[in-house]
Chain A
Amino acid sequence: MFERKIFSRKVSWTAAAAAIAGLAAVAPVKAEDTVKVGLILPMTGGQASTGKQIENAIKLYMQQKGDTVAGKKVEIILKDDGAVPDKTKTAAQELIVNDKVNFIAGFGVTPAALAAAPLATQAKIPEVVMAAGTSIITERSPYIVRTSFTLAQSSTIIADWAVKNGIKKVATLTSDYAPGNDALNFFKQNFTAGGGEVVEEVKTPLANPDFAPFLQRMKDAKPDAIFVFVPAGQGGNFMKQYAERGLDKAGIKVIGPGDVTDDDLLNNMGDAVLGTVTAHLYSAAHPSQMNKDFVAAYKKAFGNRPGFMAVSGYDGIHLIYEALKKTNGDTDGTKLIEAMKGQKWESPRGPISIDPETRDIVQNIYIRKVEKVDGELYNVEFATFEAVKDLGKTKK
């Protein structure tokens, strides 16, 4: 009798377990119809313009292409991390564990992208980096893929261009954090290899926007040009003080990766910025039909022109769509990341592809000069370096 009781209890437990298993088997059928993308972006704080541009571009893409792909509905879950890595990590955890997302995407700054990397590896889901630009990012997890850029791409190209165009002595001014140091090191490496000389090297603190003393030092060093990398928002301050100090009249040019003349802020900088030569992946003035349509649609929807962050977000969501098409809607993370490797497509910035070995973006880098077109300031492209890989990795 005693035994029978135990036996019957066992039976009921098994029945319950079976019932739960049955329920569990039923539930995912519904969930499988949607694909969730956890989008982690800085929507507040100093990097908010990055977040805003990427969010806008993704909205635009989904308006244009619809929100279903390979029979699945795509759902975006947006979280604001304010570019603080701790918050990025919490947001990624919540998205993966609670919301059961199939992708995490966005990442405004390098530390944010790195903070989420171990989670992507553990959960085996793709992390699509749409903004952060330090070389090492894609090496931190086999599940990271990037649609933005690396600073090595633009910094080495502008160095090569400068050597070939009679710029011999350069002073550098870079922000003292990982991307700034990447920009500086890759620039120096190619510039000195080409016979150029760095006469002055200044790293400015991130939190200090008064460039006056640093610029005075640049002026007294009498270089042919200043190589500058500051985070997008500070470009305007830099250019204004550059003009105030009369460096433009002293014949000192400004060169650098394109962050300093981001399309977002360019029009506010005044005429001092005219003639600045930068190397970058995208300009709102890129002369392809696709880009003209993209810029027009973006302007119509959001009232301002897209910058390079917007185009990175646009390409990021495109890559997610294409990967789903290729796996026929299969949301297994490993299959998705395999499907992303080697993708090639035409973007508003020109032809781009995902390097199958490094999962990093391969793209054209354009040399551009700031000019006035129809009363507005634009980065006008005049030379193209095709299919540039991230040199940060290929050198290893």
Chain B
Amino acid sequence: MTAILTNLFDGVAYGMLLFVLACGLAVTLGLMNFVNLAHGAFAMAGGYVCMVLVNRMGWPFFAALPLAFVSSAAIGIALERTLYRHLYTRSHLDQVLFTIGLTFMSVAAVDYIQGSSRVFINLPAALQGQFDVFGVGIGRYRLMIIVICGLLTIALQMVLAKTRFGSRLRAAVDDPRAASGLGINVPQVFAFTFAFGCGLAGLGGALSAEILGLDPYFPLKFMIYFLIVVTVGGSSSITGPFLASLLLGIGDVAGKYYVPKMGPFVIYTMMIVILIWRPNGLFGRTAAR
């Protein structure tokens, strides 16, 4: 029983991490209909910023996290204004080729600047180790991930559903022409949304360094996971990717624990089964755009 609960806990933490990493992609892909395969590069940028601040400049970990968000968002907005916005109207193939190219450039750049060996972020002692709750092993770091990511999810949902910005964004997505006719500055809304998605990726990158490892190949290694989360979740809302992340996280951890021989394939099997059952993802729109 305790083994099941420990695995459940690990799975939830892993799923939450996947969600923060991937939800920016869900936003750009689902809401803005832009295929940004360079998403992982923004996550990596956040991770490296956090590493440099904590390891080299002695910042406390919790102070470096917001900066990981801000710096990735800043890079995001700079690239959106200069490069990305020219591709909004282009075909998906163009977007894929462009962003894949960007990914390879980021890999080479980080490799050149930081070297290719894996780096670790020095965590405060309070975040290391596990404590026992009735025999269930609770990792402190993983607990922190659950708390941060949980709060973030709630905040995100609130922003999208309840705020003025949320309704503007939804309007801009559904019908950009009508929205700009109503006085909504559509490019600005998109730029802000894009930057926010990149910021989330950066935060996810910083949080994931401890669990997934951080090296220049991060964007390539984890791109597939982001895409799985978004395809399984469906790209029309935040709830879809959220539930998909949890499901995949728990499934992945449980698969590796109970059937280690086929562990890595569990996540792919789940994806295939879900997509056969619901081709547009768990919460996808029934009609294709």
Contact = CB atoms under 8 A, between A and B. Distances in A.
Given A214-B256, A220-B3, A208 B217 contact: no
Contacts of B137: 216, 219, 245-246
Nearest to B55: A268
B109 interface: no
A180 interface: no
B118 A236 contact: yes
Interface stretch (A66-74, A199-207, A318-326, A388-396): A199-207
Contact of A244 (B129, B215, B255, B261): B129
A373 B98 CA distance: 50
Contacts of B221: 207
Contacts of A208: 264
B130 A245 contact: yes
Contacts of A214: 256-257, 260, 263
B213 A234 contact: yes
Interface stretch (B6-14, B65-73, B85-93, B153-161): B6-14
Interface residues of A, number: 33
B204 to A, nearest CB: 14
B120 A217 contact: no
Contact of A48 (B117, B129, B139, B256): B117
Contact of B217 (A46, A205, A243, A268): A46
A384 interface: no
A58 B115 CA distance: 20
A166 interface: no
Contacts, number: 90
Contacts of B217: 45-46
A364 B252 CA distance: 42
B263 A44 contact: no
A246 B139 CA distance: 9
A213 B128 contact: no
B172 interface: no
B10 to A, nearest CB: 5
Chain A interface mostly helix, strand, loop or mixed?
helix
Contacts of B108: 44
What is the size category of the interface that chain B forms with chain A? 35 or more
From A213, A241, A246, residue with most partner B Cβ within 10 Å: A213
B213 A44 contact: no
A204 to B, nearest CB: 8
A347 B10 CA distance: 46
A265 interface: yes
Nearest to A217: B257
Nearest to A44: B111
Given A202-B260, A207-B221, A213 B10 contact: yes
B257 A44 contact: no
A346 B212 CA distance: 41
B260 A212 contact: no
B116 interface: yes
Interface string A212-228: 11101101100000000
What are the nearest 8 A-B pairs in CB distance?
A213-B256, A48-B116, A213-B257, A205-B264, A209-B213, A213-B253, A202-B260, A246-B130
Interface of B: 3, 6-7, 10, 14, 108, 111, 115-120, 128-130, 137, 139, 141, 210-213, 215, 217, 221, 252-257, 260-261, 263-264
25 contacts: A45-B116, A46-B116, A46-B217, A48-B115, A203-B260, A205-B263, A205-B264, A208-B264, A213-B252, A213-B263, A214-B257, A216-B3, A217-B256, A220-B3, A233-B118, A233-B215, A234-B213, A236-B120, A240-B210, A244-B129, A244-B130, A246-B129, A246-B137, A264-B117, A268-B119
Given A48-B116, A236-B213, A240-B120, 20 more contacts: A44-B116, A48-B117, A49-B117, A203-B261, A207-B264, A212-B14, A212-B139, A213-B253, A213-B256, A213-B263, A217-B256, A219-B137, A236-B118, A237-B118, A237-B213, A243-B129, A244-B130, A244-B141, A265-B118, A268-B119
